[in-house]
Amino acid sequence: MELRMTDAANSSRSRWLVAHTTAVFAFLYLPIAVLIVYSFNGEGVGGFPPHHWTLDWYRILLSDESIWDSVFNSLKVAFAAMAISLTFGVPAALALDRANFPGKALFRRLVLLPLILPGIITGLSLLMLFNVGFVSTILKLVTGQQLSLLTITLGHGTALISVATTEVFAGLQKLDRRQEEASLDLGANYWQTFWRITVPNLKLSIIGAALLIFTLSMDEIAVSFFLIGRDNTLPLEIWGRLRRGITPEINAISTIIFLFSLVTIVFWYRLRVRGEGGAEVGMELIEAKSGEAK
Amino acid sequence: MAATTPSAIDSVSSAAKPTLLSIRAVAKTFGRNVVLRNISLEIAEGEFLTILGESGSGKTTLLRIIAGFESATSGEVWMGAERLDRKPPYRRRVNTVFQHYALFPHLSVEENVGYGLRVAKRPAAEIAERVAQALEKVRMTAYAKSKPSKISGGQQQRVALARALVNRPQMLLLDEPLSALDANLRRQMQVELKSLQREVGIAFVFVTHDQEEAMVMSDRIALLRSGELEQVATPRDIYSFPATAYAAQFIGHTNLLKGEIRAGMAECNGLRWKTSLPDGPALFSLRPEHIRTGDSGASSSIRVRGRVVHQAFHGATELIRVDCGGLVLTVRTANRIEPDKEIALEFTATDAVPVRESPERT
Amino acid sequence: MFSRAYRMVITVPPVAWVAVFLLIPYLLMFCYSFWSVSSTQSIVHSWNFDNYRKLLEKPVYWETLLRSMWIAARVMLFSLFLGYPLAYFMSFYAGRRKDLLYQLVIIPLWVSYLVRAYAWKTILGSDGVLNTSMQYLHLTRHPLEFLLYSPFAVVLTLTHIYTPFAFLPIYAALEHIPRNLVEASHDLGATPAQTFWHVIFPLSIPGVVAGATFAFVLSLGDFLAPLLLGGPSGIMISNIVVSLFGAAYNWPLGAAISLGMLLLVLCLLFLSEKLEKKWSFA
DSSP string, B299-356: TTEEEEEEEEEEEEEETTEEEEEEEETTEEEEEEESS---TT-EEEEEEEGGGSEEEB
User: Would you say residue C31 lies in a domain?
Assistant: no
What secondary structure does DSSP assign to C3-62, as a single string? -HHHHHHHHHHHHHHHIIIIIHHHHHHHHHTT-EE-TTS-EE----SHHHHHHHH-HHHH
The Cα–Cα gap between B77 and B88 comes to: 13
Q: What are the percentages of helix, strand and coil residues in chain B, rounded to 5?
A: 30, 35, 35
B87 interfaces chain A, CB cutoff of 8 Å = yes
User: Would you say residue C111 lies in a domain?
Assistant: yes
The Cα–Cα gap between A216 and C152 comes to: 27
Query: Residue A281: pLDDT band by 50, 70, 90 thresholds?
Result: very low
CATH H-level superfamily of B6-93+169-247:
P-loop containing nucleotide triphosphate hydrolases (3.40.50.300)
For C262, the domain range is 57-278
- Report the percent of chain C where pLDDT is more than 90: 54
Which range among A59-63, B285-289, C18-22, C165-169 shows the weakest confidence by mean pLDDT?
Answer: A59-63
A4 interfaces chain B, CB cutoff of 8 Å = yes
CB-nearest to C199 from B104, B147, B148 is B104
The Cα–Cα gap between C88 and A202 comes to: 32
Q: Which residue has the higher pLDDT, A23 or A205?
A: A23
pLDDT of residue A75: 94
Which range among A257-261, B220-224, C167-171 shows the weakest confidence by mean pLDDT?
Answer: A257-261
Q: Do B70 and A2 touch (CB under 8 A)?
A: yes
Cβ neighbours of B91 in C, within 8 Å: 189
* Number of compact structural domains in chain C: 1
The set of residues, in sequence order, having a beta carbon less than 8 Å from that of A249 and lying 6+ positions away, is A57, A60, A61, A64, A67
C202 interfaces chain A, CB cutoff of 8 Å = no
Q: How many CB atoms lie within 10 A of CB A233?
A: 30
User: pLDDT of A81-122, one tens digit each?
Assistant: 999 999 999 999 999 998 889 989 999 989 988 988 888 999
User: Would you say residue C10 lies in a domain?
Assistant: no
User: Would you say residue C77 lies in a domain?
Assistant: yes
Which range among A283-292, B259-268, B340-349 shows the weakest confidence by mean pLDDT?
Answer: A283-292
C72 interfaces chain A, CB cutoff of 8 Å = no
Q: Nearest CA to CA, how far is C192 from chain B (Å)?
A: 9
Do residues B52 and B208 touch, judged by C-beta distance below 8 A?
yes
Q: Do A7 and B89 touch (CB under 8 A)?
A: no
Nearest residue in B to A6, CA atom: B88
Residues 123-162 of C with CB under 8 A from A: 123, 125, 127-129, 132-133, 135-136, 160
Domain assignments of chain B as residue spans, ordered by start? 6-93+169-247, 109-162, 253-355
Q: What is the mean pLDDT of residues C158-187?
A: 93
The Cα–Cα gap between A223 and B27 comes to: 62
The Cα–Cα gap between C184 and B357 comes to: 40
Q: Is 90 exceeded by the pLDDT of residue A219?
A: no
The CATH number of whichever domain residue C156 belongs to comes to: 1.10.3720.10
Q: Do A283 and C172 touch (CB under 8 A)?
A: yes
What chain A holds in terms of domains, given with CATH numbers, is 11-54 (no CATH), 62-290 (1.10.3720.10)
User: pLDDT of A144-185, one tens digit each?
Assistant: 888 889 999 999 999 999 999 998 998 898 888 888 888 888
Tell me the CA distances in angstroms from C196 to A101, A203, B98, C186, C204, one per residue in order: 45, 40, 20, 10, 10
Q: What is the mean pLDDT of residues B147-167?
A: 93
Nearest residue in B to C192, CA atom: B90
Q: Nearest CA to CA, how far is C282 from chain B (Å)?
A: 8
pLDDT of residue B255: 92
Do residues A222 and A115 touch, judged by C-beta distance below 8 A?
no
Q: Do B68 and A2 touch (CB under 8 A)?
A: no
CATH code: domain B253-355 is 2.40.50.140
Q: Do A21 and C86 touch (CB under 8 A)?
A: yes
Sign of CA pseudo-dihedral C221, C223, C226, C228:
negative
Q: Nearest CA to CA, how far is B60 from chain C (Å)?
A: 13
Q: Containing H/E element for B152?
A: none
Which phi and psi angles does A128 have, rounded to 5°? -65, -40
Q: What residue type is assigned to position B64 of the chain? A: R
pLDDT of residue C146: 75
A3 interfaces chain B, CB cutoff of 8 Å = no
Q: Do C223 and A117 touch (CB under 8 A)?
A: no
User: Would you say residue C49 lies in a domain?
Assistant: no
Query: Residue A260: pLDDT band by 50, 70, 90 thresholds?
Result: confident
Q: What residue type is assigned to position A190 of the chain? A: Y
**For the CA atoms of chain B, what is the radius of gyration?**
24
Do residues B27 and B182 touch, judged by C-beta distance below 8 A?
no
Q: Is 90 exceeded by the pLDDT of residue C171?
A: yes
pLDDT of residue A286: 52
Q: Which of B226, B222, B168 lies closest to B49, judged by CA?
A: B222
Cβ neighbours of B86 in A, within 8 Å: 6
| Cis, bond preceding A49 (omega within 30 deg of 0) | yes
B86 interfaces chain A, CB cutoff of 8 Å = yes
In this complex, the chains that touch B, judged by 3 or more CB pairs closer than 8 A, are A, C
Cβ neighbours of C10 in A, within 8 Å: 91-92, 94-95, 98-99
The set of residues, in sequence order, having a beta carbon less than 8 Å from that of C94 and lying 6+ positions away, is C101
Q: Is 50 exceeded by the pLDDT of residue A294?
A: no
User: pLDDT of A5-57, one tens digit each?
Assistant: 344 455 777 889 999 999 999 999 999 888 888 888 877 666 667 777 888 88
The DSSP secondary-structure symbol of A230 reads: S
The Cα angle at residue A90 between residues A157 and A156, in degrees rounded to 5 = 10
pLDDT of residue A274: 60
Residues 46-65 of A with CB under 8 A from C: 46-49
Q: Do C169 and A290 touch (CB under 8 A)?
A: yes
pLDDT of residue C128: 76
Q: What are the percentages of helix, strand and coil residues in chain C, rounded to 5?
A: 80, 0, 20
Q: Do B86 and A4 touch (CB under 8 A)?
A: no
What secondary structure does DSSP assign to A235-280, as a single string? HHHHHHHHHH---THHHHHHHHHHHHHHHHHHHHHHHHHHHHS---
**Interhelix angle for A149-159 vs A161-174, to 10°?**
30
Q: Containing H/E element for B76?
A: strand B74-79
Instruction: Give long-range contacts, CB 8 A cutoff, 24+ apart: C64-67.
Output: C64/C235, C64/C236, C64/C237, C64/C239, C64/C240, C65/C237, C65/C260, C67/C151, C67/C235, C67/C236
In this complex, the chains that touch A, judged by 3 or more CB pairs closer than 8 A, are B, C
User: Would you say residue C26 lies in a domain?
Assistant: no
Q: Containing H/E element for C142?
A: none
pLDDT of residue B5: 44
β-sheet bridge partners, residue B222: B51, B232
